[in-house]
Chains A and B, each alone.
Chain A
Amino acid sequence: MMASRATQIFVDEHATRPGRDTLTTAFVRAFFIGVSLLFLAALLFAPLATVFTMALEKGYEAYLASFSDPDTGAAIRLTLLTAAVVVPINTVFGLAAAWAIAKFEFRGKSFLITLIDLPLAVSPVISGLVYVLLFGLQGWFGLWLQEHDISIVFALPGIILATMFVTFPYVARELIPLMQQLGNDEEEAAITLGAGAWMTFFRVTLPKVRWGLVYGVILCNARAMGEFGAVSVVSGHIRGVTNTMPLHIEILYNEYNFVGAFAVASLLTLLAVLTLVVKSLVERTGYKGH
């Protein structure tokens, strides 16, 4: 009885002392941080560590040797090429869409916003299938395409189309809220000062949203390099021709070439980590000024 009373007094005193962490909040804080860290460790750090341990299981030699495989090289080149085509196109599209949505009132605006979100909502496999249905041999345009000797599905154009579809929301999604929040005043000021449309865009709007844009481009790029589902459907898995890195990893894994699979995986992971580092650098330098 006495002891519990003493404890009570102790707790009360600590709980009411101003300017210091009280016992209760200290506990709550430790609890939440702990749970978050455990969660991350189980779901993120462990798999990441596995990727690198498996890749280096048979030593450096084997690790590096797996990159000299011509098919792996082709996969890496294809992935980089796809990203190099998709990211600029989606950047332009994202800018245009965000501009239209943030600056103008028009019919079907909410419909357009919903459409932009569509790739995020639809399973990537379905996104891929759509292109097969459209451009495949049995598809709507299949015969016409064959007559004109154009191959889209099971070829580079199909991979690029599918990747573009899956990744186009990222830039727009990043820019729309930013542009809406920043408003129109700077542009209007530029116009009253005599600037034309192009000058206003390049001298005022673009610099204003540049950090949001960079961020969107980074996310878009990360997804473009890592996309599996949609690309898997349209690529046809032709080794050395239409295999991107994620697809190539799957093939190597299925062939029990664990070192090869995890070596490519580690490269993809490194690219992702690099992207994240650039992202956090951008955040630190970009938003500090605001």
Chain B
Amino acid sequence: MSITLDQVTKRYQGAPVVNDVSLEIGDGEFFVLLGPSGSGKSTLLRAIAGLTGVDHGRIALHGRDVTHTAARERGVGLVFQNYALFRHMTVADNIEFALRVRRVKRAERVQRRKELLRLVALEGMDERLPAQLSGGQQQRVAVARALAHKPEVLLLDEPFGALDAKIREELRRTIRQVQRELGITTVLVTHDQEEAFALADRIGVMNLGRLLEVGRPDELYKRPATRFVATFLGAANLLLARQSKDGIHFGNHAVNARAVEGSVSGREHEVVAVLRPEEIELAPTREALTSSYLAAGTVEELVFTGALERLRVRLTNGSAEVQLAKSNGDGEYLEVTRTQHEQRAFEVQRGQHVAIGVRRIHVLPTPLSSFTACAASDAEVEHLSRQPLLVELAARMKTRVATRVEPALANGSRDCSSRSGKFVGAAVVAAQPDSLKDIECLLARGAEEVFVLPPNAPPPQRVLIHWADEAAKSATLAVSASLLRHLSAEAIYVDVMPQGTAESQRPHGMRALLDARSEAQAVHGLEMRTELRVGNVSTELVRQLGESVDPLLILGISQINGLAHRFADLLASTPRWPMLIVYREPEVQA
């Protein structure tokens, strides 16, 4: 491996800007770190270069641990967005800088310089000053300069950011060529997905300091695992659907299962479906569709963009059944793109009614699809659904907050026996003295996740994860991973060993801890730190929560009975911290 990052964390004024990133980049690979501004991608690159120290974790270059090695000794080449050429030196002096530092002989310097200038197609520019070059030429010089000392790794920080479209493409080609010719391991940081697609062998998508997904460009585009990657890499319509053994349902009707790709698990549950704009088909009538019917709609907007036509189709009679996980926030729209060929086959005008079909659906493997605010009265439900933390979470997860009046939650009339009506998404209840009863009631009535929300809770800085029963482990990890992708908080798994555990049992506990960590990492892509405590579970969790700034607790259980007894300290009084309770019945052994 050329570059190995292991749980790299960098905090700025307490808040993590790079959050537990682990990554391996192979020899000669062109790796692109993609993410919106503020996602921590540049900080991570600077950490690799040694210009920024890390607070936690290790960095290795070619198997050599460089975590505490000074930048000048790491032997990397770095190219900056604004070139950072030495403006008082000529092109020749700029390129030879690294060689002069190393006291390379003049003849050798000149030869290397000529070679590099040829590589970046700037022969004969030796005696110019940077100010006499165009932006594209300056960046070429910067690339040549970064390569002069034959670094093992080339790092590029938004190198095309300041250039116009045409030059950008030209330079992109040059860099790809240089990279291939030298076979040098390269990491490029960008916010431009087109650039990432054009250059990358592999892409790593970052958001909120986390490395969300890593994969080949086509894989990430076709089969994203997260909402963020689905919408950031290309356009995507996110829809809420129900998935069961026999396919995927949008409202009342099922869509041909063959069009569906993604996880298929046994029980019926709500899922997030990704529909790429180019996978949507429009036809005059439902019968004329060659793909699975989704809904009917009206063309609201129609933009000609050359090769493609971009449309916005408002869902009409289907909208009651087809639930959009709000991807654009301004109503029930589907984004559609059509090729020239499709346009010729069926011409549409603004305002026209069309039947909407879908050729391919990708289902995100996310257990947290949406939120449903539950309370005993309309007013309470309304109030709860407007809680800032809930609104913020839903916005970040690009999903909706549904409301549901649960008479069973009213004081006095607790009838929790009936399992009427399915719960979709996570049920949300307000924190109050009786929260424990609310939780028990909702779980008994079929909710799988209950989110207890104290009034005006701040966005969490730290997420504590704990599962009381081994049976809930996998589900808890999945939910944690799903939630944490949308938070910049750090994740900590807390394991508590009972008081009086024999010394000899300790290594066993440690192993369980490490197993949990590696499962989280391998199966769910969740990086978390671990802590082992000894004592009463409930007491230790309360203590840990109390010590943290703005914490959130994710608690996995597989038994409803005895909740009050087992988590007395945590649940007896009004919960002070937001808590997400994940409940999964143990699988019945056949």
- Which residues of A line the B interface, CB within 8 A? 185-186, 188-196, 199, 203-204, 207-208, 210, 289-290
Contacts and interface: CB of A to CB of B under 8 A. Distances in A.
Contacts of B50: 192
Interface in B80-126: 80, 82, 84-89, 97-98, 101-102
Given A195-B72, A196-B72, A207-B88, A185 B80 contact: yes
A191 B72 contact: yes
A192 B72 contact: yes
B145 A193 contact: yes
B51 A193 contact: no
Contacts of B76: 192
A210 B97 CA distance: 19
B548 to A, nearest CB: 26
B78 A188 contact: yes
Contact of B97 (A185, A193, A196, A207): A193
B88 A193 contact: no
B49 A192 contact: yes
B116 to A, nearest CB: 13
Contacts of B149: 193-194
Nearest to A211: B88
A27 B80 CA distance: 49
Nearest to A206: B88
A160 B145 CA distance: 47
A207 B129 CA distance: 14
Interface of B: 49-51, 71-78, 80, 82, 84-89, 97-98, 101-102, 129, 131, 142, 145-146, 148-149
B128 to A, nearest CB: 12
Contact of B98 (A193, A208, A290): A193
Contact of B87 (A186, A193, A199, A203): A186
A189 B148 contact: no
A220 B78 CA distance: 39
Contact of A186 (B84, B102, B129): B84
28 contacts: A186-B86, A186-B87, A188-B51, A188-B71, A189-B78, A190-B86, A191-B72, A192-B49, A192-B50, A192-B51, A192-B71, A192-B72, A192-B74, A193-B101, A193-B145, A193-B149, A194-B72, A194-B75, A194-B101, A195-B101, A204-B86, A207-B86, A208-B87, A208-B88, A210-B88, A289-B87, A289-B131, A290-B87
Nearest to B46: A188
Q: In the A-B complex, list the 9 residue pairs whose CB atoms are closest, starting with the nearest.
A: A185-B84, A193-B98, A207-B88, A192-B78, A189-B84, A194-B101, A191-B71, A194-B72, A195-B101
Contacts of A189: 78, 80, 84-86, 142, 145
B280 to A, nearest CB: 45
Contacts of A204: 86
B84 A188 contact: yes
B294 to A, nearest CB: 51
A185 B77 CA distance: 14
B88 A194 contact: no
Contacts of B49: 192
A128 to B, nearest CB: 40
Nearest to A289: B131
Contacts of B73: 194
A195 B129 contact: no
A210 B102 CA distance: 25
Contacts of A289: 87-88, 129, 131
Contacts of B88: 207-208, 210, 289
Nearest to B49: A192
B77 to A, nearest CB: 7
Given A188-B78, A189-B78, A194 B102 contact: yes
A75 to B, nearest CB: 40
Given A188-B51, A191-B71, A199 B86 contact: no
A289 B130 CA distance: 10
Centre residue among A193, A196, A204, A207 by max chain B CB count within 10 A: A193
Contacts of B75: 194
Given A192-B51, A208-B87, A185 B98 contact: no
Contacts of A195: 72, 97, 101
Nearest to B151: A192
Contacts of A191: 51, 71-72
A28 B89 CA distance: 45
A190 B131 CA distance: 18
Given A188-B80, A195-B72, A289-B88, 19 more contacts: A188-B71, A188-B78, A189-B80, A189-B85, A189-B86, A189-B142, A189-B145, A191-B51, A192-B74, A193-B97, A193-B98, A194-B72, A194-B101, A194-B149, A203-B86, A203-B97, A207-B88, A289-B131, A290-B87
B131 A290 contact: yes
Contacts of B74: 192
Nearest to A187: B84
B77 A192 contact: yes
Contacts of B78: 188-189, 192
Nearest to A193: B98
B95 to A, nearest CB: 10
A109 B80 CA distance: 28
A207 B84 CA distance: 14
Given A192-B49, A192-B51, A185 B82 contact: yes
A194 B75 CA distance: 8
B101 A199 contact: yes
Given A188-B51, A289-B131, A290-B131, A193 B84 contact: no
